[in-house]
Amino acid sequence: MTAAATTPREGAGRDRVTGLLRKYLIVFIFLGMCALLAIFSPDHSFLKPQNLINVVRQISVIGLLAMGVMLCIITMGIDLSLGSVLGFSAVVAASLVQQPAWKEAIYPGLQLPAIAAVLAGLAAGILLGGLNGMLIAGFRIPPFIATLGMMTAARGFAYIYSNGRPVSTLNEDFLFLGKGDIGGLPVPIIIFLTVVVLMHLMLTYTRFGRHIYAIGGNEVAARVSGINVGRTKIFIYLISGMLAGLGGVVLTARVQSATPALGMGFELDAIASAVIGGTSFAGGIGTVWGTVVGALIIGVMNNGLDLLNVSPFYQQVVKGVIIVVAIIIDERKNR
């Protein structure tokens, strides 16, 4: 079984070309954007390796969140709490790796290895994400509402935990996760790519992955087919929360401090990435590669509009238009 199992319809011979064009439309759009930027950016600076690495580094955190929310959307759900969960996980993780000598640390004198902070960040995400799943599967609260509540509450937890102050002055070995590189490749990118590969394997080659698509394809039919829909959903939101936790760790290490407001609004870019990448709110459709391309489009768009000196005000408008156009294309494709 390959990704073909979930990609849009295959052309029947005569319209194979149109089929191919449709199927990879988003990739063509992405390549088109890159080509335009390569030509029109001053000094062709877009194509410089440093710039390209920058683009990917910038989307690595959004990309992690997009992977999670993609799972939710495939099952006709949503996770609005990602940005807040990221914020909470960030302050929790950072609080464990502040320099022992720093007087204003949350736990002064505490000395723990970086891995403890990573695990704590993941655990915080798993906890809140699992709670989302429990609310959705156990109490049958619509995902939009459950995660909207969590979005507000988790942000509150972040402020309470950090006492409203940035958690800063972090150990160097922890900061390596955000600033370091291995063989020239920044660590955040390595983490992102690892998650991408794991997610792809999970969705395509495991029973759990098939269950996710089956639930999105037809929840009642999935239940009648013996799939434990509730348990699957709990795991989906738990994974989504965990990836937000991981995003919190990486982002903190990159900006060298965790503020309780970290990641505010990130869920929207994550949702946009998944949707631009072809994940369908009608359920059952969505691929890791599509979502990666969706995130890249957002990254390239941000980067390119900067390079072209477009005012940030206009950038927002352009981004909004692209999201809506992507949905329109998606709707027509599924008709």
Among residues 158, 136, 160, which one has the least CA distance to residue 148?
A: 136
- 187 vs 227, beta carbon nearer other proteins: 227
- 4 vs 182, beta carbon nearer other proteins: 4
- 249 vs 285, beta carbon nearer other proteins: 285
d(CA 188, CA 307): 23
Closest approach of other proteins to the CB of residue 8, in Å:
8
- 238 vs 244, beta carbon nearer other proteins: 238
- 23 near other proteins, rule: CB under 8 A: no
Closest approach of other proteins to the CB of residue 216, in Å:
7
Sequence-ordered list of residues with C-beta below 8 angstroms from that of 93, at least 6 positions apart, any chain: 117, 118, 120, 121, 124, 245, 248, 249, 252, 258
Number of CB atoms found within 10 A of residue 192's CB: 25
- 147 vs 204, beta carbon nearer other proteins: 204
d(CA 108, CA 99): 8
In the list 69, 128, 227, 272, the residue contacting other proteins (rule: CB under 8 A) is: 227
The residue whose two tokens read 């999670």 is 68
- Count CA within 13 A, CB hemisphere, residue 53: 12
- 198 near other proteins, rule: CB under 8 A: no
Closest approach of other proteins to the CB of residue 147, in Å:
23
Judged by CB under 8 A, the stretch of 43-51, 142-150, 225-233, 302-310 that binds other proteins is: 225-233
d(CA 9, CA 333): 9
Closest approach of other proteins to the CB of residue 214, in Å:
5
- The answer to whether 251 and 262 are in contact (CB under 8 A) is yes
Binding mask 259-298 for other proteins (x = CB under 8 A): ---------------------x-xxxx-------------
Q: Which two tokens stand for residue 55?
A: 């683009």
Q: Could you list the residues that contact other proteins (CB under 8 A)?
A: 1-2, 4-6, 8-10, 12, 204-211, 213-214, 216-218, 220-228, 280, 282-285, 334
